[in-house]
Chains A and B, each alone.
Chain A
């Protein structure tokens, strides 16, 4: 299953991914419009990205009372069909990652749709906290980014 892979120890909390997601999906900038969320870990300086993992046995699909949560046939992404979503938040409670969020304007849930196979959040993440292996494999470019942004303990 294609999904965005997370390496939280590399996340710096810059929110570039949130801004890119919001801009590409909504044409404007706000964390509240983003399908990916960065959470700060309590009072210590560590950050944690949260994004839909498009689970094989997705509990959001089975829980949704209106069958609004669906898997796209093209890339396997689990998305919300806005026509059917009633904003009951069942998927939010069912998700083990807490990934679905309510759209502040429509009141319906939204999750990552993998940007038609080219997730923009991965493109703008310059520390390698997000990566997108296709069919479970990383590309050469993705591996290069990962190498360039290795954890720097002991350097220089």
Chain B
């Protein structure tokens, strides 16, 4: 007997301590997509621009696509949407989170979870058997992310419960606090931990015991086995498995920012840095849900085994702040992981502080009567402690590098940001494709960023869609469409957009086999187009479209460093205009005037 899927949305109101369930509309269900589109549509329908983005009343939406919680390879990603105070001006942001939480939300019977309001006292949510319980989190408040996860699992006597939680950073209002799943996984680059903390929400725990129905199990199994085999035998897939996200170093990458983007890395330096990790600290692999690649690395240090170390987190707490020994980097990473801080934003803040101090822009008075030289691990630990506790200058620093610079009125031109959001680790001057992708999609991690690598381009299916001679803006927009498709269906953006190992038609076939509804590549790409329009409308909500997308700070267009040639302003602006034309968007007047 055929089993059709029924999509459900779980609404949770923390103020009223009440939850209710709504069915996903037939139109949305028939479209065969979920995730990012569902979140965007919710925000578009429900949110009025009159509410302040800093209000805890602002909702958080977490959603998965139709393939989450199935055998489909690399289908364990969760789309998270919230209003981010890290953006300038604060606004709607989307993040993709790997791990296991999303599929388990599906096993709990829901495709989307929307959290509204603010609890009176600290709570955590326990989602089990289609019901939500508001549990007292008083005893958990102050605990780090690992202690919180274990404490909830022990309280519920279930080690299989999936926990998404914050650490002390989120509780205490650090804007760049993140959420952590299963000790290791976080996709959060938008300050979701702050949003949790502002709502007095310590964690969302899910126990999934409902099965995800598959319309044509035999066809689906055959498709999944074929795809797993393809990924297993693919050259890039194999290297990604061997090296994790460090695969994007050396000849596949190049151009990571060192010391607040004052220098740029060479392939040799990157290879050496990578080899040092694998030689001394690498223990094994860790995989997201249903992933045949397992790009997560398990690190061994001082008798501890921990996951979650990836290229950007490690580089941010390493060469970006002048630290070149892995032991210090990993200690700082472990500290951020436990406290629930985004390592990338921590690295960005510290590199800005160190850069400003070294150049004499910031004094020791600005830094809370301390010094902060490149590579000073003790100063780094001190600043992290202040950020979490709010002591000394911590109250200012906890707003992130961009807002700290604005508040102090110093060093704003040294901040590496796009729309206020801290840059990940790759230098925008390393390629025009990357600079453009960064300017339009500032909230994404580098390794997920849908920039078409020229070397990879010639050897994959994406080459059939965009040739190597295509204009940069077209390449970036086509790659971004694939990234959004991954977000809509809960696939890993790496295997759909970055490498890509799974094509649009593969996704259409899998979706049709799971949902039992007609689904083809054209229909999926139409949904992608709709999502782009929804995201655009939402991104314009807070500034009424005055600023527009597609801007980078002036420092990257000036010759700041002898080792990095600046970006060409004319070429960049030409590509931004082309991107607007490609999307058939009107360029905001402010941007036109600046030209």
Contact = CB atoms under 8 A, between A and B. Distances in A.
Given A30-B209, A39-B159, A151 B287 contact: no
A127 B275 CA distance: 22
A44 B305 contact: yes
Contact of B107 (A31, A45, A155): A31
Interface in B492-512: none
A139 B184 CA distance: 35
Interface string A136-152: 00000000000010011
Contact of B242 (A15, A22, A30, A156): A156
A31 B231 CA distance: 23
Interface string B264-289: 00000000001100110011111111
B278 A29 contact: no
Main secondary structure of the interface of B (DSSP, over half): mixed
A12 B150 CA distance: 19
Contacts of A15: 100, 289-290
A104 to B, nearest CB: 6
B544 interface: no
Count class of interface residues, chain B:
35 or more
Interface stretch (B7-15, B217-225, B566-574): B217-225
Given A14-B287, A124-B228, A153 B282 contact: yes
B306 interface: yes
A26 B286 contact: no
B69 A30 contact: yes
A155 B241 CA distance: 12
A10 B284 contact: yes
Contacts of A154: 278-279
Interface stretch (B292-300, B389-397, B481-489, B581-589): B292-300
Residue among B159, B290, B291, B296 with most chain A CB within 10 A: B290
Interface in B201-252: 208-214, 217, 220-221, 224-225, 228, 231-232, 238, 241-243
Nearest to A16: B290
A20 B298 contact: no
Contact of A104 (B209, B221, B285): B209
B208 A16 contact: no
Given A12-B296, A153-B282, A31 B71 contact: no
Given A12-B287, A39-B159, A155-B242, A33 B225 contact: no
B70 interface: yes
B70 A19 contact: yes
A31 B217 contact: no
A141 B208 CA distance: 35
A132 to B, nearest CB: 16
A65 B381 CA distance: 61
Given A14-B291, A124-B228, A43 B275 contact: no
B214 A13 contact: no
B133 interface: no
A23 B209 contact: no
Contacts of A152: 242, 278, 282, 284-285
Contacts of B228: 16, 124, 126
A32 B211 CA distance: 8
Contact of B283 (A22, A23, A120, A153): A153
Interface string A47-82: 000000000000000000000000000000000000
Contacts of A45: 183-184, 286, 298, 305-308
A155 B220 CA distance: 36
A127 B295 CA distance: 12
A123 interface: yes
B160 interface: yes
A30 B289 CA distance: 12
Contacts of B242: 152, 155-156
Contacts of B159: 39-40
B290 to A, nearest CB: 5
B302 interface: no
Nearest to A104: B209
Given A39-B159, A126-B232, A155-B278, A29 B287 contact: no
B430 interface: no
A44 B70 CA distance: 25
A32 B3 contact: no
Contacts of B282: 152-153, 155
Nearest to B309: A45
A21 B291 CA distance: 15
A155 B278 CA distance: 6
Contact of A23 (B73, B146, B220, B292): B220
B371 to A, nearest CB: 36
Interface in B504-523: none
Nearest to B304: A44
Contacts of A19: 70-71, 290
A28 B210 CA distance: 10
B279 to A, nearest CB: 6
B503 to A, nearest CB: 20
A42 B306 CA distance: 11
A156 B224 CA distance: 30
B494 to A, nearest CB: 14
B417 to A, nearest CB: 32
A151 B71 contact: no
Contacts of A155: 242, 278, 282
Interface string A1-23: 00000000110111110011011
B259 interface: no
A30 B290 contact: no
A14 B304 CA distance: 21
Contacts of A30: 69, 107, 208-212
Contacts of A29: 69-71, 211-212, 214
Interface centre among A16, A39, A126 (most CB of B within 10 A): A126
Interface in B114-156: 146, 149-150
A36 to B, nearest CB: 13
A30 B104 CA distance: 9
12 contacts: A12-B285, A12-B286, A15-B290, A19-B71, A20-B221, A28-B213, A30-B210, A43-B146, A44-B305, A45-B298, A104-B209, A124-B292
Given A14-B290, A20-B224, A43-B183, 5 more contacts: A14-B292, A15-B100, A16-B228, A27-B217, A28-B3
> Which A-B residue pairs are the 8 nearest by beta carbons?
A14-B287, A45-B307, A30-B211, A12-B287, A28-B211, A19-B71, A27-B217, A12-B294
